[in-house]
Amino acid sequence: MAIPVILDVDTGVDDALALLFAAAHPELDLIGVSCVAGNASLERVVDNTLRVLALAGATDVPVAAGASRPLIEPARDAGHVHGADGLAGVVLPPADRRAEPEHAVEFLRRTILAHPEPVTLVALAPQTNLALLLRLHPEVAANLARIVFMGGSAGVGNATALAEFNVWHDPEAASVVLGSGVPLFMYGLDVFNHVAVPRERAQALAASVEPLPSAVGWLLDHRIAAPDGTPGDYLGWIGDAGAVCSLVVPDALRVERLPVRVELAGYGRGQTVVDRREHPGEDAAHGLTTEWATVDVALGVDAERVAGLFLDTVVPGA
Ligand code: RIB
Ligand code: CA
């Protein structure tokens, strides 16, 4: 039985790769996509998402537009990473359909509660839509199998030295999700930064005359520009797609169930603190406890296996 999934995205180069994988893998039933501002503006994200689903031949998957900015912070895009268009200049044909008329929060509420099986909600973006959903309609938790989120890090950050972009963009939203009581799986930078496609393979795909492999190749070969605009080195990361792959090959990841919280103040704002201590410390001894969520945290990954699954699923034989 295919796993019913909803993706919450800020498409986004790697969100695009995640959408292509989710639409293609037979063990996943992509029942909807919600959009949020993050990598690009909400309007850009919605348009990119519709275009990517058209490329995947998944024009039957409903798309809904959600929050155009974080709960507290202003919207800050990641144009230096994903390009002004959010797809690193990869031009896809315009979609010939529009997003659902309702707000993503209402779309998520209705879709989750109406599904006959518990739904897996995969958050690949700032978690603003999820926080609004869980605050406005906490009853949805009863039909959520779990929330799998690409976000956070047990180690170094990317948006700042300590914080990962999705959580840094809307720390309050991430904190609401952590406190929701829904089973949580964290696919953070500890694994996100390691799953990559070899350069030669990406460039061979980019050279294809077929639209799908060509787009995948160019998306994999996008470069993160330095602040002065100098293009970065080849990375080949599948990024968000790895979080979706983890639904299909959970045994490809090394996971520990750990206490996690989000810092909301100071330079560490947006940091996911993952408590990997073997024994309680002075904080517990002196009653300096704080709110911790219990989260399944991915700390290691068979990167080659996951990258291979992605390619075999999205561009088989290419
Ligand atoms: O930090 C990486 C995350 O931020 C990815 O989801 C990427 O798409 C951006 O949203
Ligand atoms: Ca994303």
192-201 pLDDT tens trace: 999 999 999 9
Mean pLDDT of the chain: 96
Mean predicted confidence (pLDDT) in 80-99 = 92
pLDDT score at 254: 98
**Does ligand 1 have an atom closer than 6 angstroms to the CB of 164?**
yes
Q: How confident is the model at residue 149 (pLDDT cuts 50, 70, 90)?
A: very high
| pLDDT tens digits for range 237-279 | 999 999 999 999 999 999 999 999 999 999 999 999 999 999 9
Q: How confident is the model at residue 184 (pLDDT cuts 50, 70, 90)?
A: very high
Q: How confident is the model at residue 13 (pLDDT cuts 50, 70, 90)?
A: very high
Query: What letter represents residue 153's amino acid?
Result: S
The CATH H-level superfamily of 3-314 is Ribonucleoside hydrolase-like (3.90.245.10)
**Does ligand 1 have an atom closer than 6 angstroms to the CB of 242?**
no
**Does ligand 1 have an atom closer than 6 angstroms to the CB of 86?**
no
What spacing in Å lies between the alpha carbon of 204 and ligand 2's midpoint?
25
The answer on pLDDT for 224 being more than 90 is no
**Does ligand 1 have an atom closer than 6 angstroms to the CB of 125?**
yes
**Does ligand 1 have an atom closer than 6 angstroms to the CB of 263?**
no
pLDDT score at 309: 98
pLDDT score at 77: 80
Instruction: For ligand 1, atom 2, name the residue with the nearest CA.
Output: 165
* Best residue among 17, 160, 166 to mutate for probing ligand 1, ranked by most atoms within 8 Å of CB: 166
Q: How confident is the model at residue 318 (pLDDT cuts 50, 70, 90)?
A: confident
What spacing in Å lies between the alpha carbon of 316 and ligand 1's midpoint?
25
What spacing in Å lies between the alpha carbon of 23 and ligand 2's midpoint?
16
pLDDT score at 220: 98
The answer on pLDDT for 213 being more than 90 is yes
Q: How confident is the model at residue 79 (pLDDT cuts 50, 70, 90)?
A: confident
What spacing in Å lies between the alpha carbon of 82 and ligand 1's midpoint?
10
**Does ligand 1 have an atom closer than 6 angstroms to the CB of 190?**
no
Alpha-carbon distances of 230 from 13, 88, 226, rounded to whole Å: 19, 14, 5
The answer on pLDDT for 110 being more than 90 is yes
What spacing in Å lies between the alpha carbon of 126 and ligand 2's midpoint?
8
The answer on pLDDT for 98 being more than 90 is yes
Ligand 1: nearest atom to the Cα of 126: 10
pLDDT score at 225: 83
Question: What does the domain layout of the chain look like in residue ranges?
Answer: 3-314
pLDDT score at 174: 98
Cα 137 to Cα 148: distance, rounded to the nearest angstrom? 19
Q: Which residues of 115-136 are buried (b: 16+ CB within 10 A; e: fewer)?
A: beeebbbbbbbbbbbbbbbbee
pLDDT score at 289: 79
Position with higher pLDDT, 89 vs 97: 97
Cα 49 to Cα 184: distance, rounded to the nearest angstrom? 25
Structure tokens, 105: 């929060």
pLDDT score at 40: 97
pTM exceeding 0.95: yes
The answer on pLDDT for 84 being more than 90 is no
